Structure 1
Amino acid sequence: MNNPLQRLGNIPVTASILESFFPHIKRGNQKVRLLERDKQIIRLKKGLYVCNPEITGKTLSAELIANHLYAPSYVSMSSALRYYGLIPETVYTMQSMTLKHSKDFDTPLGRFEYTNMTKKAFSVGLTSIRKEDYAFVMATPEKALCDLIANSPKVNIRYLKNAGTYLEEDIRMELEDFRQMNAEIFEEYIKVGKKADSIRTLLKLLKK
Structure 2
Amino acid sequence: MIKTTDMIINELSIYASPRTKLSRMVKKGEIFPIIKGLYETEKSTPGFLLAGSIYGPSYISFEYALSFYGLIPEAVYTVTSATFEKKKSKKYETMFGTFTYRDVPSEVFPLGLKIMKEDAYYYRIASPEKAVCDILYTLPPASNVEELHLLLNDSLRIDDSDLMKLNTVTIIELSKHYHSTNMKRLCILIKRLHKSIE
Q: TM-score, normalised by structure 2?
A: 0.87
CA contact (8 A) 1:127 1:137 kept: yes
Of all paired residues, the percent bearing the same amino acid is: 28
Q: Counterpart of 1:200 in structure 2: which amino acid? A: K
Match of 2:27 in 1: 37
Would you say 1:126 and 2:113 are equivalent positions?
A: yes
Give the counterpart of 1:112 among 77, 94, 99: 99
Match of 2:77 in 1: 92
Match of 1:151 in 2: 138
Where 1:198 maps in the other structure, the secondary structure is: helix
Give the counterpart of 2:162 among 177, 183, 200: 177
The alignment yields a C-alpha RMSD, in angstroms, of 1.8
Separation (CA, whole Å) in 2 of partners of 1:184 and 1:99: 24
> 1:197: Cα distance to partner?
1.7
CA contact (8 A) 2:104 2:134 kept: no
Separation (CA, whole Å) in 1 of partners of 2:109 and 2:126: 9
Separation (CA, whole Å) in 2 of partners of 1:69 and 1:100: 17
Question: Gapped runs of 5+ residues in structure 1?
Answer: 1-10, 54-58
> 1:100: Cα distance to partner?
5.0
Moved more, 159-168 or 59-68: 159-168
Separation (CA, whole Å) in 1 of partners of 2:90 and 2:152: 27
Q: TM-score, normalised by structure 1?
A: 0.83
The alignment covers a number of residue pairs equal to: 190
Would you say 1:198 and 2:188 are equivalent positions?
A: no
Structure-2 change in CA distance of 1:130 and 1:52 (3 Å) = closer
Post-superposition Cα deviations, 1:138-184, rounded to whole Å, max 9, x if no partner, equal 111111111111112xx323433223212221111121111111223
